[in-house]
Structure 1
């Protein structure tokens, strides 16, 4: 290449319409060499939905936070294409969309998320399309006295259990505020302890909140069935668990994209640098990957790492350890949780009533959080 000849611009394609995709775009543009990249954002949705506050919906008006992807793409100087990823042709460095169109890439970042499926028959599935309406009806039945006992279930494969604990604590708070007596709330979790991913000081703080709220916790147990009254447990324990209603987190399933190596559940294989093995220039971040913890803040850290490597600048540590930050809504003061995560294991954790990070967003993203904060979100 002779003097004065500009280096060819690389085309980065980001697939996804959630927080991991948005963080990847913003992180690329924040990099010193990020302006030299041509970026295309491919997403099936028109808006970025801020989902962590969905837990408030059953208890009254909740702030709905949706941000147009067109505006985010424009702010990130990216082209926006509406479409669903169907396949990746690694040899041709191209992706195929659901409408049959192809887009070539130099670098590809897959942030396509995961799909939800009900974990239990005859249970209300929290965080599904109809979950808000179903749970509002459940709260109304508690108020009317038609329901006196509820079991909240964390099944294997749910990816991130904190919303279920929030829902339990918010339900307990609602019952106290309404003066509802003799309401029995039980958490059944396959985990060895409540919210085991923050085991240590953080997990102990969560356990105290549940105990103070009068919530019974059955840990190390799985729900095998529910006939409308009796909850079948494995191992069974000392006696039957009776519940008028059961609320369960969904199980997550990977996107299972043709051309990408995946596990049996369709989650994309990645290495510690979020690179997809065997495919040059292909990265995957967020819930679509085999990383066992599916949490927004961790997904944005993965996005930051991939963006730094793509922009070829010094970026985040590629250590398998990541820092989890999350806010537990309780109905009273929120609890701020932090944990150092290695794989699916907590190395250390802490809990605080004051926010240890800024801005104190539910998803503690390096670039997306201040961006949304600047929009008033």
Structure 2
């Protein structure tokens, strides 16, 4: 059996097992664009595509807590209601298989045949990669359900606090350090230790990471935060973590990030490589290598920089490429903080400036340098903008 035929048969069987029915190519719905994932990347593509196209956005979650807000919610600095957004107007379903040779996407909501496919499913949190004791309690600032269940818990953290993150690539590399800074600011008496799993930095990112890393190291030293590099947590117990080097760190509160991975079904489809953690390599127009009609944007892309602003930029590139391919006018990506992309009320601007200025002093983490209050507003601006992007994407494309 050819690989293409095998994929079709496997996908159909998976759909049948999940939904109790068999869907074939003859019963698929034909659309212009299928977007897998309704987060910032997927919604940005959706909001930029022409309205006369038939676009389907498939999203398995019912709601989303915008990325930069997660650590603030966990620390009790932001309300989950203010920065959560629902996905009621997208197609609710989980992707089971992709057959790019026949332009088919198999989901629990049906089978879609596309002209263009945009992959924006984000990352998979690989909890299975670490041995976790059932009695262990931790906060994972990358997991919506975990953050919502533990909202405000870190505001009361005392004693020994361990902040552990995996090796590269992982999403929003600044987040564990932001959390450590915020927690230390809220609880100066807390004994905070950051354990970094980064052992090697890809050559093309050495200068960037080294420059930012050096400044962050200075900030941690200034604020009395301990740093241990090159060790990845492999065991989590009720009161301690064990690293791959055998070192043991005891804790009273744990903030842990599991390894980030791509999606196995994309490897099966020939769109990603298992040796690259199942992430997708792309060209300069965000096309999956080897495919003219498949795009990948956001965290699913094989690169170190997995952030909301990177996803936003990549999505604009992909949308413009699709429009050019259709012979339509296409503008290039806009600057991230342009006035038409960010709308911020005076109340939020003032709150953002007051909340962030005491934490970082003369340097605002996320690489925005300088002591001005205008720069200190950046994070709350972006949190609000991310929510608006997803809401606008849903207004443009209602579910089937």
Is the TM-score greater than 0.5?
Answer: yes
Once the two structures are TM-superposed, the CA of residue 214 in structure 1 deviates from its matched residue by 0.8
> Hey, what does 1:57 align to over in structure 2?
73
- Give the whole-Å Cα distance in 2 for the aligned partners of 1:197 and 1:43: 36
The RMSD of aligned alpha carbons is: 4.1
In structure 2, the partner of 1:124 is 138
1:249 to 254, 257, 266: 257
1:218 aligns with 2:228: yes
The count of residues paired between Structure 1 and Structure 2 equals 324
* Corresponding position of 1:341: none
8 Å Cα contact 1:18-1:49 kept in structure 2: no
Residue by residue over 1:94-115, the C-alpha shift from the partner in whole angstroms, topping out at 9 and shown as x without a partner, is 211124x211211111111112
Residue 45 of structure 1 corresponds to: 61
SS in 2 for 1:332: helix
CA deviation digits over 1:261-308, x for unaligned, max 9?
222233233233221233331111111222233211111111111111
Distance change in 2, residues 1:45/1:225 (3 Å): closer
* 2:45 paired residue number: 24
1:67 maps onto 2:85 in alignment: yes
Residues 357 and 263 (structure 1), Cα distance of their counterparts in 2 relative to 1, 3 Å cut? farther
Deviations 1:225-263 (A, max 9, x none): 4555565455578xx654444422121121222524222
Q: Deviations over 1:44-83 (max 9, x none)?
A: 2344431311112233362221234456xxxxxxxx4222
Report how far residue 364 of structure 1 moved: 5.2
> In 2 relative to 1, CA 172–48 (structure 1 residues): closer, same or farther, beyond 3 Å?
closer
> Is the CA contact (8 Å cut-off) linking 1:46 and 1:70 kept in structure 2?
yes
Hey, what does 1:360 align to over in structure 2? 378
Deviation at residue 220 of structure 1 after TM alignment: 2.9
Question: In the alignment, which residue of structure 2 is the partner of 1:84?
Answer: 94
- Which residue of 2 is the match for residue 15 of structure 1? 36
Give 1:311's aligned residue: 323
Q: Which runs of 5+ in 1 are unaligned?
A: 1-8, 29-33, 72-79, 143-147, 339-348
- Give the structure with the higher percent strand: 1
Q: Mark the runs of 5 or more structure 2 residues left unpaired by the alignment.
A: 1-29, 338-351, 394-400
Q: Secondary structure at the match of 1:297?
A: helix
The correspondence of residues 239-278 of structure 1 with structure 2, limited to 5 A, is 241-257=249-265, 258-264=268-274, 265-278=277-290
Cα distance in 1 between the residues matched to 2:146 and 2:370: 33
After TM superposition, the score normalised by the length of structure 2 is 0.67
TM-score by length of 1: 0.70
Question: What displacement does 1:219 show?
Answer: 2.2
CA gap 1:67/1:246 in 2 versus in 1, 3 angstroms: closer
User: Does the 8 Å contact 2:364/2:375 carry over to 1?
Assistant: no
Instruction: Quote the Cα distance in structure 2 between the aligned partners of 1:290 and 1:201.
Output: 22
1:149 match: 160
Query: Would the aligned equivalents of 1:205 and 1:351 in 2 still touch at CA under 8 Å?
Result: no
1:112 aligns with 2:121: yes
- Structure 1 position 192, deviation (Å): 6.8
Deviations 1:178-218 (A, max 9, x none): xxx4x321111133799988535543432232222211112
Question: Relative to structure 2, which stretch is displaced further, 245-254 or 302-311?
Answer: 245-254
Structure with a larger share of its residues in helix: 2
Deviation at 1:16, TM superposition (A): 0.8
Specify whether residues 14 and 133 from structure 1 end up closer, same or farther in structure 2 by C-alpha distance, changes over 3 A only: closer
Equivalent-residue separation in structure 2 for 1:358 and 1:138 (angstroms): 22
1:332 aligns with 2:358: yes
